[in-house]
Structure 1
Amino acid sequence: MAKDIINLSLGLLLRKLLKERSMSMRKLSELSEIDTATISRVINGKRSANLQHLERFACCLEVPLADLVEAAGYPIEQIQEKSLLKNHTYVDILQDVFVSSDMADQNVSEAVIEQKLAKYEQYVQTVEGKNEILNEFGKKLESVGSIGPLISQMKDLYKKFHLGNGTPYELAIIGSALLYFIIPLDVIPDYLFAIGYLDDAIAVQLASNSLAKN
């Protein structure tokens, strides 16, 4: 019986949040674009929720994603400790996060992030992509706090992009890193600065490497 009950604490929390908001599972399904059957199974403890599910639930229910992550049983304290170890690379930590959270099938790696950056390079060259960076970067900073080494790097990249300091190719690379930071659907959701933005840091590193090669 125990094997059939997965993350019941998350299910109880979701049920409570839905009741407080007078929201049905069907409505949550429409807002989150997660099918009702999956939501029902998560709420009833019949299946675990992955990080993408939790991110969408948090957005739709307007609650801190960290609360849902903790309720789902993800090892936040263990992950925080690993993130402070100097001998752990970003990729090492990312792999540890997903392996320890039964998310290894997501195949988190630099290659996955590179694929996203390549798509964003194309998008940033459109008027829509450029406007998204110019309009949303400030809002993103407000939501995550304007301190830390990653934020400083992002601010520097944004300044270059905003001023157009670089060739079209260089600006496309810079823009791809900025879009990765702005758009919430990352390889790792932005639920906790020390962990949720590790993949954003990798994106910046990859973009910097590309600029250096260029």
Structure 2
Amino acid sequence: MRKLSELTAIDTATISRIINGKRKANPEHLQKFADCLGVPIAELFVAAGYPIEQKEEKLQSDIHTSVDMIKNFLESSNLYDKKFSITSVEQQLDNYGQYSQTEEGKKSILESFEEKLQKTGSIGPFINQLKELFERFLQGKGTPGELALIGSSLLYFIISVDVIPDYIFPIGYLDDAIAVQIVMGLLFKKEIDLQ
């Protein structure tokens, strides 16, 4: 348990409670276990009692709820005059995915990710997901298609001018969080499809 704790950065006591059935592993724990043990995450979700279909449906529902909230906020605040949609985020991710496979795109990710993290304060759930994606990108863990997806979310975060520019406070990073959730959902779906 101590070794697993070191490898996953999850507290030994937490791992012990999960193993002894006193606590349920959350999706973040399962992702770290999957990465550390080289096991498909879908298997761990099933083993932990998470219904796979419902997780994907919940993710889509959460994204759409978030998009609706962002649209309402943008309309009421007069901070941003363009329409916000998932399609606009997905189109930007496609562009960044292609760019992330170029030498210039890879260099941009490697040189700018840490600096951008510092500017955001490096905290929050989508920041933790970005850090995990960055590690996967650094290690080349994944197929070329998966690495393009991962690269697209990293570039979306790094480049300040995206669907909602980062400098529009306080909403500038909301679309970045949506982009990360879209990529995480697509990666999860790919893992499910492989089984």
Number of the residue aligned with 1:106: 82
Q: Structure 1 residues 213, 142: CA separation in 2 closer, same or farther (over 3 Å shift)?
A: same
Q: Which has the higher contact order (CA 8 A, sep 6+)?
A: 2
Residue 188 (structure 1) shift: 1.8
Number of the residue aligned with 2:26: none
Number of the residue aligned with 1:173: 149
Number of the residue aligned with 1:205: 181
Find the aligned partners of 1:143 and 1:192 in 2 and give their Cα distance.
14
Find the aligned partners of 2:99 and 2:136 in 1 and give their Cα distance.
18
Q: Give the count of matched residue pairs.
A: 128
Larger radius of gyration: 1
| Identical counterparts, % of pairs | 55
Q: For each residue in 1:28-72, what CA deviation from the matched residue of structure 2 results, as whole angstroms up to 9, or x when unmatched?
A: xxxxxxxxxxxxxxxxxxxxxxxxxxxxxxxxxxxxxxxxxxxxx
Number of the residue aligned with 2:162: 186
Number of the residue aligned with 1:121: 97
Number of the residue aligned with 2:119: 143
Find the aligned partners of 2:184 and 2:160 in 1 and give their Cα distance.
21
TM-score by length of 2: 0.60
Return 5+ residue gaps in structure 2 as ranges. 1-61, 191-195
- Tell me if the contact between 2:153 and 2:183 (Cα under 8 Å) persists in the aligned partners: yes
Find the aligned partners of 1:193 and 1:155 in 2 and give their Cα distance.
23
Number of the residue aligned with 1:94: 70
Number of the residue aligned with 1:134: 110
Residue 102 (structure 1) shift: 4.2
Q: Which runs of 4+ in 1 moved over 6 A?
A: none
Q: Structure 1 residues 102, 193: CA separation in 2 closer, same or farther (over 3 Å shift)?
A: closer
Q: For each residue in 1:70-112, what CA deviation from the matched residue of structure 2 results, as whole angstroms up to 9, or x when unmatched?
A: xxxxxxxxxxxxxxxx9x9320221012211347862201000
Residue 194 (structure 1) shift: 5.7
